Amino acid sequence: MAYEVKVKLRAPWRVGVDVGGTFTDLVAQDADGRMVVAKVPSVPTDPSQGVLDAVTAAAGQAGLSVQSFLQGCDGFVHGSTIATNTLLEGKGARVGLLTTEGFRDSVEIRRGLRENQWDHRTPFPPVLVPRYLRLPVRGRIAADGTEVAPVELDDVASAVDVFRAEGVEAVAICLINSFANPAHERAVAQAVRAANDAWPLSVSSDVMPIVGEYERGSTTVVNAYVAPRVIPYLRALDATLRDLGLPGGLLLVQSNGGIASVAQLEGRPVNLALSGPAGGVGALKLFGRATGSTDLLSMEIGGTSCDVMLMSDGEVATTDSLMVAGYHLSTPATDIHTVGAGGGTIAGVDRGGMLFVGPGGAGARPGPACYGFGNPEPTVTDALLVLGRLRPGPYAGGAVSLNLNLARAALKSAIGDKLGLSEEQSAVGIIRLLERNLLNAVERISIERGIDPRRFTLLAAGGAGPMHGASVGRALGCRRVYVPRAAGAFCALGMLHTDVRQDWVRVFAGEMETTSAETLAQSFDEMEAGARRMLHAEGFPPARQRLMRALDLRYPGQQSSLRVEIERTFDAAAVRSRFEAQHQRLFGHIQPGGRIVIVGLRVAGIGQVEARDPQTPAPRAGTPASLGTRRTYIDEASGWMDTQVYKGVDLGPGHRVAGPAIIEEMTTTVFVGAGDTLTVDAAGNFDIALAP
Amino acid sequence: MALDPIALALVQNRLDHISRQMGWVMTRTARSPIFNQSHDFSCFLTDAGGTLISQADGIPIHTGGGGFAVRALLAAWGSDIHPEDAFLLNDPYVAGGNHLPDWVIARPVFVDGTLAAFACNRAHQSDIGGGAAGTYNAEATEIYHEGIRLPPLKLIERGRLREDLWQLLKLNSRTPEALDGDVRAMMGSTRIGAERLKALLEDYGLANGLELVEGVLAHADRSFRAALAGLPQGIWRAEEKTDNDCFDLRDVWIRVALDLRADGLTVDFTGTDPQIRGFKNSSIANTWSAVYMALASFFEPSLPRNEGTFRCVRIVAPEGTIVNARPPAPMTMCTVFIAHEIVHAIWKALGLADPSRACAGWGKSIHNGSAGRVGTDRPFVAYHWHCMPGGGAVDGRDGFNQIGHLIALGGLTIPNVEGYEQAYPLRILRHELRCDGGGPGKFRGGTGVEYEVDVLEPAEYSFRGEGVGYATGFGAQGGLEGQVGHMRLVLSDGTSIEPPKYRVCRYELPLREYASSPGGGGWGSPLDRDPMAVLRDVRDGTVSRHAASNIYGVVISADGRSLDDAATQRQRALLRQPGS
């Protein structure tokens, strides 16, 4: 959509583009920190078209041709849903899998684990490689890495014949115990490549060398499955942008929250599983600086879901495994807790007569009832419209128009008539239940991480987040809610503040106290050499390279490990005390003096992108102009009030607004509760001090 | 006056969130892997009378039976219950326990000085004494052989842990450290639960809050009645057996009659066989949970997890039978077997009432444990979870080819081969789907697996071959039963051994174990299976060409990659003829 604001940019600028289900967001920030924000409809059939449309819109706002806009760009960061959508839609490549004889089925057995045990009628999502394309190779490596039986390459030859006959497009290799010794996998890979070097190969000891044939195999298979769809798509988009003038080429956000070039991703497209939402990592770091707080909880709410992320002591919480479309991936990833709660979430009454909100949603089309595209069921957006929180008429920059009568009718028939409530009461019920679900989601990630959310600042983002931030923050016991002015382009904005990052992992077996510093140093040095090569290739001089070493540690017998960062000189006593502090916080106990074993070594290679904070707008004096008042439902205690409504552009740094109030911004609407005080901070964002 | 429907929805949401929160705290703080890997615990809330008001978290076989524990402690302590007290119990005969290893911590919640509710955690301990390490003593013939029995005890008295009692408990466990850590985690999770529940009731005021809680139970009652209303009224009977009493081969039957009327459902176990010598006898709490699990899993997953769901259900479990044993019968195994059989019997009866939702049987496990030493100082106990069975089919999906015990419905994780080889002196040689193991049907039963392992050290073997010797995954709606399980051992000197069904044996040589785990039952006639699905099974090697032709009536062309449509039509017509 076009915003009327024209911004003159000074080169070079950095661009972030996030492709969502409904909108593609673009944020550009120039050498002086000036920003352009563009939002265009996504094109599900060809997401790259949405990217190009966003570029065109942004160039227009900057008064530049597309070519000049791209030529002035010194970093083009993209969050792409291409890998995730390939999985969700089941449109990946035909994959052949080679496994150790006797172990073809771990990706089909899935460790027998069901995500929702009470729902046993829903089948597992289809296995990505049919059993007749999962073929055995004789030969065996033992648990300690020694060879029990040599690898039989004749088996590879016959498997290759089958793969050819069956039209296989990509090959995955996952042999038992390859994490301990990859020699057999490498020999098999070489044999496959010799037979047909057009097949993209995914070799488990390269993709993710961890213990566990299911998790390693599943990750490797997903990698093979998405590669032939993802890589050509990214190459083509990269080439198009370069042809149009982009000097540096495309950078992609990975699940770990770091960025990588298309060339870096060729072997590991699986790392794009969380490409879009992981852009939030950069946003957390940016707003950590803006708020002066190292402890942030973010709640990014869009049309269908709410993503919750946590930054504690300046570190964004990560995880080593995630499920995408029902498939297990073991890759370093940002820990994002997602619940079905957004503007399009559907409400109703179950057959026992209880009000429910979600988790299902109306999507972008038909969307909420008030859009008038034929959905009869009431959604959160319909409730907000009836409560006066949203304004009838043009919405989301004019992409749709909100019809109050349709919203009222949906609320009446689906809820009001069944429960004996007015439309207004039904709407209140929806919002209160939705905000309860949001609160539950934030509490979950806090409790699982052993932190107290009351000392955190709640960052409310996404198009729909700032509407609920004050209420959820209050219920959590937070004192402060922070709303970025470009809340609706949160992840795209975050992408401007994201470093290049790649992670290296090695399985290791040793007691922490008896492992020699030299042994560790040797492995770490080898891993770091790989990291340096990558960073050098990506154009980072040594001064901008940062290498982080960490150990995966556990007490013997434990099923999961804790990651502890270590210095370049290994100090076992210091590492023990860090491990114990973390164990105490997360698990509530330690084993004083207990043995600690090292099970893995990790290196993160980080290429630091120069930090450029957004421009500080000029302070504004006096009282901001109001658009007038609107009758709005505030909360249980205050009921309905005449509420001041402001236009975002009328508020600048230094302005204060006493709640209740509504701020209509370009990409979001902010709700300030009764007794709350909103201050526009120096960066131009909204800082809300909550009434207790 | 009618309840505020918005407050009602908020209260239900908060109750379920509280019981889940307790589970997150437990997972995070407990010490034994059983909790964070197998989730063998549950968190629940009851009202002041011991009626279960939420159990959103926990293993399915724990669900629905928690109220017995609180009602037992109320009977024992009456008015001597005070703020900051916490209770501990486990005994299935006097304390409302399900079986001895599952200990319950219950914390009273007081609002305005009135006892208003309880927050509870039931969790499987790593060791509680008794005749065998690790809580499962397969040779038990009395409950005294199974570990320490706890009546409702006041473990924390007005905020003070009773140190004498605490020492007694630790002294009775082979793993006092783990017990200490795990029970403290239970205390922590119930503290969080009690605080949150108190805050909830205070937010609404006690009287109004309790009315809303009652409204939540009434909603569950309406929801379950609505589910039952879809079924025809009448009496539906079924039975299910186990073929042994843990010592001898003899059939022991569960018999159930579901009497479905307009005003509710009676689940009547009259006619069920008497209690047995071995440790599969069920406690009344476990029988309730098994009935709850069978009913809830038959209907939709959204049914509320509280006792309101059971308001219109009456259970008749005659004393002295295997579903309600008299003391001192042993019962540690009952949460797996006989619960499996109880669920099967009820599923069969429900399947008669509503064939479209009928569930085929899940295979019973056959895996054994191997215990020994590596060298002189490294003891090991390895359970061969890799030969878990296949699950049963339902309309719309095939059975899960391999899955853990039925009573967890997919909540138990099968370990990785690689992780096992790191931890134990084993080399696993095969862990693959069986061919023709799954019960044929329009939807095929789970295949089960072929498992081969070298046990590299001499070891003691504890066998519990429930799924060996007879088919355990029954078919539904014309589907056929899954294949039986087999097990064979070959010692390193070449001796081949057919292991006993239930016994502990020691072999002084390394050996290779071969196991074929049982398949799940099929749903619907195999002649109605989509021929493309049969082709895929044949190509996958999970169904033989022979079975495809003779059971499914599907003829695969010579190249093995496509259907012979004409021959398939002829073959299916032939097989449909009566007497064929």
Residue found under tokens 């339902």: B394
Band of the pLDDT at A22, cuts 50, 70, 90?
Answer: confident
Task: Indicate whether B540 and B513 sit together in one domain.
Answer: no
Cis bond upstream, residue A484 (ω within 30): no
Could you write out the three-class secondary structure of B193-228?
Answer: HHHHHHHHHHHHCHHHHHHHHHHHHHHHHHHHHHHH
Task: Indicate whether B15 and B91 sit together in one domain.
Answer: yes
Which chain A residues have a beta carbon less than 8 Å from that of B415? 111
- Low-confidence residues in chain B, pLDDT < 50: 1
Task: Indicate whether B486 and B434 sit together in one domain.
Answer: yes
Of B24, B28, B418, the CB nearest to A213: B418
| Inter-chain CB proximity A355 and B6 less than 8 Å | yes
* Among chain B residues, CA nearest to A586: B28
Domain count, chain B: 3
Closest approach of B295 to chain A, Cα-based (Å):
11
Residue B212 belongs to some domain of the structure: yes
Over residues A273-295, mean pLDDT: 93
Q: Is A213 on the interface with B (CB under 8 A)?
A: yes
Angle at CA B322, nearest 5°, toward B321 and B325?
70
A574 pLDDT exceeds 60? yes
Task: Indicate whether B51 and B104 sit together in one domain.
Answer: yes
Closest approach of B397 to chain A, Cα-based (Å):
6
Question: What's this model's pTM, rounded to 2 decimal places?
Answer: 0.95
What is the pLDDT at residue A538? 87
Residue B306 belongs to some domain of the structure: no
What is the pLDDT at residue A568? 87
* Among chain B residues, CA nearest to A180: B418
Q: Is B155 on the interface with A (CB under 8 A)?
A: no
Closest approach of A529 to chain B, Cα-based (Å):
29
Are A55 and A41 contacting, i.e. CB atoms less than 8 angstroms apart? no
| Inter-chain CB proximity B222 and A352 less than 8 Å | yes
pLDDT digits (tens, 9 = 90+) for A384-432: 999 999 999 998 777 789 999 999 999 999 999 999 999 999 999 999 9
Measuring CA to CA, how many Å separate B310 from each of A590, A669, B65, B222, B223? 42, 45, 11, 10, 10
| Inter-chain CB proximity B400 and A124 less than 8 Å | yes
* Among chain B residues, CA nearest to A123: B397
Task: Indicate whether B50 and B197 sit together in one domain.
Answer: yes
| Inter-chain CB proximity B13 and A176 less than 8 Å | no
What is the pLDDT at residue A212? 94
Lowest mean pLDDT of A130-134, A631-635, A664-668, name the range. A664-668
What is the pLDDT at residue A1? 40
Task: Indicate whether B91 and B46 sit together in one domain.
Answer: yes
Of B388, B394, B416, the CB nearest to A214: B416
Over residues A223-252, mean pLDDT: 96
Of B10, B29, B296, the CB nearest to A436: B10
Q: Is B29 on the interface with A (CB under 8 A)?
A: yes
Task: Indicate whether B500 and B559 sit together in one domain.
Answer: no
Question: Which range of residues forms the domain containing residue B473?
Answer: 358-529
Residue B404 belongs to some domain of the structure: yes
Task: Indicate whether B61 and B96 sit together in one domain.
Answer: yes
ipTM given for this complex: 0.95
DSSP string, A235-266: HHHHHHHHHTT-SS-EEEE-TTS-EEEHHHHT
What is the pLDDT at residue B32? 74
What is the pLDDT at residue B580? 65
Task: Indicate whether B393 and B537 sit together in one domain.
Answer: no
What is the pLDDT at residue B224? 96
Q: How many CB atoms lie within 10 A of CB B572?
A: 17
- Residue A370 — φ and ψ, nearest 5°? -70, -10
pLDDT digits (tens, 9 = 90+) for A549-570: 999 999 887 777 889 999 888 8
What is the pLDDT at residue A579? 94
| Inter-chain CB proximity A559 and B25 less than 8 Å | no
Q: Which amino acid is located at B259 in the chain?
A: D
CA neighbor of A102 nearest in space, from B65, B574, B453? B453
User: Would you give the distance in Å from CA B336 to the centre of its chain?
Assistant: 5
Task: Indicate whether B105 and B58 sit together in one domain.
Answer: yes
Task: Indicate whether B495 and B568 sit together in one domain.
Answer: no
CB proximity under 8 Å: A 139-178 to B? 142-143, 148, 176-177
Closest approach of B158 to chain A, Cα-based (Å):
23
Of B12, B31, B409, the CB nearest to A117: B409
State the Cα torsion B297-B303-B309-B310 to the nearest 10°.
Answer: 0
Band of the pLDDT at A2, cuts 50, 70, 90?
Answer: very low
Q: Is A351 on the interface with B (CB under 8 A)?
A: yes
Of B9, B412, B452, the CB nearest to A112: B412
Residue B298 belongs to some domain of the structure: no
Helix or strand or coil: residue A318?
Answer: strand
Domains of chain A (ranges plus CATH)? 13-86+232-272 (3.30.420.40), 92-226 (3.40.50), 500-607 (3.30.1490), 628-689 (no CATH)
Residue B128 belongs to some domain of the structure: yes
Length, in residues, of chain A: 692
Q: Is B396 on the interface with A (CB under 8 A)?
A: yes
What is the pLDDT at residue B33? 67
| Inter-chain CB proximity B302 and A132 less than 8 Å | no
> Given phi > 0 = left and psi -120 to 50 = alpha, else beta, which region is B173?
beta
Task: Indicate whether B510 and B549 sit together in one domain.
Answer: no
CB proximity under 8 Å: A 548-577 to B? 557-560
Of B6, B25, B222, the CB nearest to A429: B6
For testing contact with chain A, the best of B6, B530, B561 (most A CBs within 10 A):
B6
What is the pLDDT at residue A5? 63
Instruction: Tell me what percent of the residues of chain A surpass a pLDDT of 70.
Output: 99
Closest approach of A595 to chain B, Cα-based (Å):
15
pLDDT digits (tens, 9 = 90+) for A38-70: 988 888 889 999 999 999 999 999 999 999 999
A3 pLDDT exceeds 50? no
CA neighbor of A257 nearest in space, from A237, A284, A238? A284
Instruction: Tell me what percent of the residues of chain A surpass a pLDDT of 90.
Output: 83
Over residues A149-165, mean pLDDT: 97
Over residues A141-153, mean pLDDT: 97
What is the pLDDT at residue B354? 96
Of A120, A440, A586, the CB nearest to B409: A120
Q: Is B430 on the interface with A (CB under 8 A)?
A: yes
Select from B512, B529, B546 the last residue of a domain.
Answer: B529
| Contacting residues for B177 by C-beta, under 8 A, at least 6 apart | A591, B31
CB proximity under 8 Å: B 73-132 to A? none
pLDDT digits (tens, 9 = 90+) for A603-626: 999 999 887 888 888 898 889 999
What six digits make up the tokens of B259? 């009497």
